[in-house]
Structures are given as structure tokens and as C-alpha cells.
Amino acid sequence: MSYITESLKQLFGAAPTRPSKEQMSVEVKEIHLYKKENPFTKADFQQLQEEHGPASTKWRNRRWATLIFINLLFVVSYYFDVQILEGALTASRFVGFHMADLNSALQVTLAFKHMVLNLVIGTVTVFIIWILLGGRTFCSWVCPYHLLSEWAESLHLYLVKKNWVKNRTFDRRVRTVFYVLFALMALISGYTVFETISVTGIVSRALIYGPGIALIWVGLVLLFEVFYSRRAWCRYVCPIGITYGVVGAISPLRVKYNVKDCHHEGDCRSVCLVPHVLDMTIKGRASDVNVDVSADCTRCGMCVDVCPTNSLNFEMKGIGKHL
């Protein structure tokens, strides 16, 4: 199955395709067989962790710095009227050049049944940027709610570890249902319903123009994620990720998995926002020695940071160089 087809399936909620033995390359079959006959012991795992040392935070630090910088640039431009990055994440102008969030542009187009020139320019600009960046990069590198949710997730995991709460999951296909519902509501009502409740838009506008009553809704969503379901908004509700994921499916920038040195300790899946995209890291499931992680990946880099054998890396297709 092609990378794009598999990416679209996962974006809309399907489970990752598990390759049959016939679909596996000869080389990867030999690697799977060798690992089966020479399994890692607990002592081997401990030695590996000791040699690797503490998990890196390189990509997390880069991502947090980028996210904070972009959102602060909106704030600085507004308060000091320097006109560098005006507006908010839903629609903005960078040094006078229009930019539009792809999902917001879709909602507006459905609601008003046409696109004005500035919206066309802004949409095309962002479309090109996210073809280059790929996946759901917007979610983890730009969205301010993602950072809040990441901190809330840390608290949630602490409470789970203490057995004070349980993490509850939902069928991932529910996000596709919401995606269709929001689109239909915009089309039928002529009103961008999702933008009213979008925590991304609410947090972005609150940072720039000051807090408002809508932040109560953001707080309720965060409380739900802390005490009930880890990253529920991003995983099961928000349509923004689907929109960017579809565009980013053809991007040359991807996370690549190499099965040869991986010992399947599972740390990568435990830190991943969307662990289904790392299904190939489970023992015996890789279809080839090198496998690209699907476009439902947020490109957050946490799996790259935590991998003790560098089996996961960012790579630009066609160049073949780790970033």
C-alpha cells in the first residue's frame, strides 16, 4: 500500500495496515527472524538504557521555542504595532502578505460559498508551506493549545501513575465524524460553527487581544483531558489535524523508522500523541527495513528524542539526510 493511501486511511481513523509475510521484503524478514531467535533480555534492555543515558530533549526544545516564538510574534506585532505578523492564527498577514489557516479557510468557504482574493492568496501560501513541512506539523509546532495540552498531559499521566484517575480512549473515527459535522454545519447554516469553539483560535486570540469568557471553554476541555481522556481534543475532535494531514501527505519531510537496530522497547509509542502511527515499531510489523511514518504524525520529534538506538529520525525524501 502506498504511503499516501496509508496516511489518508490513518487520518480518517482506520487502523494501521499490518503487512502480511508476502508483503514484507526479504531483508526485513531476515531481520525479524534474527530478532526472534536472539531476543533481548531484561539485562540487555537495562544496559542499552544505561549506554543511551537520559532521553534527549533536542526536538522538544526546538518545537517549544518555535511555537512560543511564532505566537509571541503575534503578540509583539499587535502591542507595539510593528506590523510583522498581524491578526491571529486563523487569518494573518506576515509583513503584509496574507496567510490563512487551511481549516479556517475551508470553513469560511463552505459557509459563504465563495473565496475572496485575499483568502485565496493566504490559503495558497499556507498550503505550499505545509506541503513542505508535512504531516500535522501545525499541531505540534504552531498551535498554542497543543502546548497547554502537552502540559495537561503530564499532569494526567502523573494522576494515572498514582491510580487517581484512569485514561479513557475513544474510537479514532469519531474525529472524522466531527470533521464532517463541522463542514456540514458551515455549509448549511452559513456560519463557521467550529471557529466558535476552536480552542486553537480562542487561545490565539486571547494571547493577542486579551482573555475573554471563551477561555472558560478552553479550561473545561483541559480539565476533561487531565481527569478523563489524554489529549482528547486533538485526538478525537479537532478537524484541523485532518486538514493539515491531508495536505502534508505529499510532503518530502517525514519521520523514518529503521527496524535494524530497534529493540522494540516501546518508549516511542508511550510518548507519542498519535501512537498508532508507530505501529511498525511493534515487533514483527515492519514491512521493510526503512518505513516512513504516516502523515497523521504531528512531527513533534518526541519519538526521535526518546529512541535509544536512533531508529527514528527526521528525513527529507530525495535527500536522504537526517535532520
Specify whether the CB–CB gap between 105 and 123 falls below 8 A: yes
pLDDT at 231 over 90: yes
Local confidence band at 224 (pLDDT 50, 70, 90 cut-offs): very high
pLDDT at 154 over 70: yes
Specify whether the CB–CB gap between 205 and 78 falls below 8 A: no
DSSP class of residue 322? B
Helix-helix angle 102-112:240-248, to 10 degrees: 110
Lowest mean pLDDT among 87-91, 112-116, 231-235: 112-116
Lowest mean pLDDT among 30-44, 60-74, 224-238: 30-44
pLDDT at 1 over 80: no
pLDDT at 82 over 90: no
Q: What integer pLDDT is reported at residue 184 of this predicted model?
A: 96
Mean pLDDT of 30-48: 83
pLDDT at 34 over 70: yes
Which of 259, 250, 260 lies closest to 279 in space, CA to CA?
259
Nine-digit cell string for 28: 526485513
Lowest mean pLDDT among 10-19, 129-138, 250-259: 129-138
Mean pLDDT of 111-116: 86
Nearest-angstrom CA–CA distance, 217 and 187? 24
The residue ranges of every structural domain in the chain are 3-55+252-316, 60-246
Local confidence band at 305 (pLDDT 50, 70, 90 cut-offs): very high
Mean pLDDT of 218-230: 97
Nearest-angstrom CA–CA distance, 311 and 281? 9
Contacts of 72 (CB under 8 A, 6+ apart): none
pLDDT at 202 over 80: yes
Helix (H) or strand (E) holding 41: none
Contacts of 206 (CB under 8 A, 6+ apart): 212, 214, 215, 218
DSSP class of residue 255? E
With a pLDDT cut of 70, the percent of the chain lying above it is 98
Greatest extent of the chain over all pairs of C-alpha atoms, in Å: 66
pLDDT at 133 over 90: no
